Every structure is written in structure tokens, then in C-alpha cells.
Structure 1
């Protein structure tokens, strides 16, 4: 899908995030000289075509008080990992859960779930819940705690 001038202006207007106002699409539309409905429709088309993967909130867990963030990694039976991952991704405290290939022999883990808590004890309690849910399908796990906040950004267009 080729980008036209409106697409480029829309991406530029939203790449830093939507405005924190009651009607953000209307605010973006006002900046671009179109209606909020036109903004929503074009973004929906970009999503449907795959040009944009998703539109969603990206919370800063640290600012929300969740300072013990740990990527839990699990060695799960390949035949069950997708179904179990779906269930884990719905647990409170899990912001994202996904499957990754193992890198044997050093890295046996194939399921990753980001756990958020105010303390490491909270994260470890959540990991126990995950471990119970995985049952005998899991043969090992670890928790890798965050030590820094990485800059999160959305779609960016290169300037000419």
C-alpha cells in the first residue's frame, strides 16, 4: 500500500501518541483539517491492510508504581505451548505473552510472559500462578528482572 500525503500527515500527527483528550480522533482531525470520523476510518483501513499492526495504549509501568517487572521465561511442551500461552496472556499482571524459538543448548525457553508487580515478591507470586497453570507441560523457568526502561515508540516516518 502506497502512502499518500494524507497518510503521511496522519502518521506524523499520531506517531508520538494520540492526544490525551476525551475525543482524540477529533483532535487529530482538527489538526489535519478533516473530521475525527475520517481519521478513524483511515486508521481502520491501515490496520486492515497491515500497514499498521495495532493501535493501543503503552503504559509506563514504573510511573504506575509497578517497579518489579520481570520477563518470565518457560520451557513448555511444544504441543501445548500455544493453548497455554493464550491462557497465561489473560492473567492479571501479564502485559504480554508470546512464543519464541529455543536456542539450545543454552536457552531452552519457548514461552515468554511479562509480569508486573510493585515488589519482586508479587512477581514471584504471579510466576507461581503461571507455573501451576502450566503443570506438567513445563520443565523449567526463570525470571529476568528489568533493570532499565527502554524507549518505546510507534511507527515513525523517515524525514526526507
Structure 2
């Protein structure tokens, strides 16, 4: 369970940390806490699984990576966890997950996002993934983004 201070801390950080030299000190001042308590509480939230990570999330569009291809793969269900872990560990893959098939129209059960500067660059990366997976990939496609949708995670109120 989250106490009131944890909830306030999550609400204060869920849109990002302040871009200053000492972000935890600034958070502490905003929340009326000690910097060490802010750090300890965040570590506790991570350890309990209440938050998954603290990290930078670059805007790939601003960095020039405007070709975004979701590669979708048809792999054997009994191999999807192993193959997914292998694909998800690749530098070119930003996220990878399993989803249910919707037969007969949708045979794909493994999804892996690849960003690139051009569609050809993304296709080349996906071809490399296909070579790595080998015959375990019975079929695959690359679905390119055509527009940017609002991307936010779960938000809680303080």
C-alpha cells in the first residue's frame, strides 16, 4: 500500500524529474521532505514494484528517429518467451511483448518495436531480427506508424 507521502512523491515525479543538477533535492524541497527520504522512498517503491523504473525517456522523434516499425512475428507459442527475451535484448528493439493471436486473421503473437531514421533502416533491422530468429519465425510483417498518438502511462492524483 502507498501512504500519502508515497502518493505525493509519485504524483510529483510521474511527468518526469526536474532537469536540474540535483533533482532529488528539488523534489524534497517541493514536498517538504529531506532529500535522503525522497531517495529512500523511491528505492522502496522500486523494490516493492510500485514503480518499475526511474530513467530517461528520450523523444525519439526529436532525435531524428521518425520511422517507427512494429514488427509482428508468428512464432510457436512454446518458444515465444525464449525468442521474445532474445529479441527484446537487441539494441534496435525498444520494447518487445507477447500478445494473443486472433486467428484466422491475425497469426502474430510476438511484437517488437524498432525505431529508425528511415523505413529502409527499420526494414534492415527487422531483416536482421528475422535472420536471428531463423525458421522459428513462421511469418512476420512490419507495421509503420502513420501518426503520433498521445503517449502517457498511468497517472495517479496526489
Q: In the TM superposition, what is the alpha-carbon distance from 1:48 to its structure 2 partner?
A: 2.5
Aligned to 1:143: 142
Q: Deviations over 1:65-120 (max 9, x none)?
A: 00001100000122222112112112222101111111111110111100010000
Change (3 A) 1:56 1:152: farther
Q: Any idea what SS the aligned residue of 1:10 has?
A: helix
- Structure 1 window deviating more from structure 2 (112-121 vs 31-40): it is 31-40
Change (3 A) 1:92 1:53: closer
Q: Any idea what SS the aligned residue of 1:95 has?
A: strand
Q: Any idea what SS the aligned residue of 2:140 has?
A: strand
TM-score, scaled relative to structure 2: 0.90
Aligned to 2:42: 43
Unpaired runs of at least 5, structure 1: none
Distance in 2, Cα, partners of 1:86 & 1:4: 35
Aligned to 1:116: 115
Q: Cα RMSD between the aligned structures?
A: 1.7
Distance in 2, Cα, partners of 1:57 & 1:102: 32
Give 4+ residue runs of structure 1 displaced > 3 Å after superposition. Answer: none
Aligned to 1:157: 156
Q: Report how many aligned residue pairs link the two structures.
A: 158
Q: In the TM superposition, what is the alpha-carbon distance from 1:33 to its structure 2 partner?
A: 2.0
Change (3 A) 1:24 1:110: same
TM-score, scaled relative to structure 1: 0.89
Q: In the TM superposition, what is the alpha-carbon distance from 1:20 to its structure 2 partner?
A: 1.5
Q: Any idea what SS the aligned residue of 1:86 has?
A: helix
1:11-22 to 2 correspondences below 5 Å:
11-22=10-21
Q: Any idea what SS the aligned residue of 1:148 has?
A: coil
